[in-house]
Structure 1
Amino acid sequence: MSEPRYVEHGARWTALLYGPLFALLGYLAELATGTTHAIAWVLVGLGLAVITAPWVHARRRFLTVKVTDTELWQGRESLPLAEIAEVDDVGAPAGARVLGGGWSTPRKYDELPIRLTDGTVVLAWARDARALRAALGRA
């Protein structure tokens, strides 16, 4: 597998720390009042981490954008770079297919219309569409 030129993860695994940190703050607040429930806060922290793990996994699987020397990855779909004809000044026609398999671009992501070598236009997406355009232009 070639070295990625651009990578944008859908989520970071550090998000698993939010629940335990919340539980630690709750425990410290209880400690200030004098009555503590340490085992309950440990269970709350672990429970929040456990329910966050599938969310992080799904976002990393379906919302990761990666450009390598040979392919553009959008979620679980790959597009060979040899099929990309143009990334600059491409208009997005109504009904253009969205890469990655969704009906529309994900929320909080910008669209990047791409013209393929067969003349069709598809919509790529990224949080930083300029950086994705630059990475595709360099590739």
Structure 2
Amino acid sequence: MTDTGDGTTILFAEPGARWRSVAYGPLLCLIVLILELVTTAQVHWFALIFCAALIAGFVVLQVIAGQRHVSVELTDTALREGTETVPLAAIDAVLPERDEDSWDDEDWESARSLGELNGVPRRRKAIGLRLVDGALVQAWAKDHRGLRAALTTALGGADQAEDVDRAAPNTEETEHSENGADR
């Protein structure tokens, strides 16, 4: 947990992209330059410097976009997913994870995802949320279990998890698998 300057505490954060990735292209060009100097081949000064600057420039744009559109921050007052911020008071419950053995999709899996992107960003997993007005939305993060735990704690901990469990019907006794293996 980190304290910000405005008095809120950061409970969970993912930056979306890191500035260190800007250095990868120029480092590769430096390695090629060193290899050219060692092997006494013709050294391509201009091409290597141009490529290093070009790669770094494109990656800077990607880092800025990543930090703006796929970063996640949970504070003690709000959840920010990309450019959209939802106050914690507007979130009613964190819904249970999808059952991997189930053939049916959960209702929240077809809900809109938070942020301005069309869906859940690549390499991120969705978390179902029920808002106070009854709407379902998808929060998302790379470390979805960490975000789920932090959200559950921020919203009231174990009391809320028990409410969600009570709301889900117990289908273990009445439904059987399709292949009949459990009969």
From 89, 105, 111, the counterpart of 2:126: 111
- Of residues 19, 33, 37, the one that matches 1:13 is 19
1:23 Cα offset (Å)? 0.6
Aligned position for 2:161? none
Is residue 15 of structure 2 the alignment partner of residue 24 of structure 1? no
User: How many correspondences in the alignment?
Assistant: 139
Give unmatched runs, 5+ long, in structure 1: none
Higher RCO, 1 vs 2 (CA within 8 Å, ≥6 residues apart):
1
Name the Cα RMSD after superposition.
1.5
Where does residue 98 of structure 1 map in the other structure? 113
| Structure 2: runs of 5+ lacking an equivalent | 1-5, 98-105, 155-183
Counterparts of 2:37 and 2:50, CA distance in 1: 17
Question: Could you tell me how far 1:94 is from its partner in structure 2?
Answer: 5.5
Moved over 6 A (4+): none
TM-score normalised over the length of structure 1: 0.92
Q: Percent identity?
A: 38
CA–CA separation in structure 1 for the residues paired with 2:107 and 2:80: 20
* 1:47-88 deviation digits (Å, cap 9, x = unpaired): 211111111100110000000110000000000001111114
TM-score (norm 2): 0.71
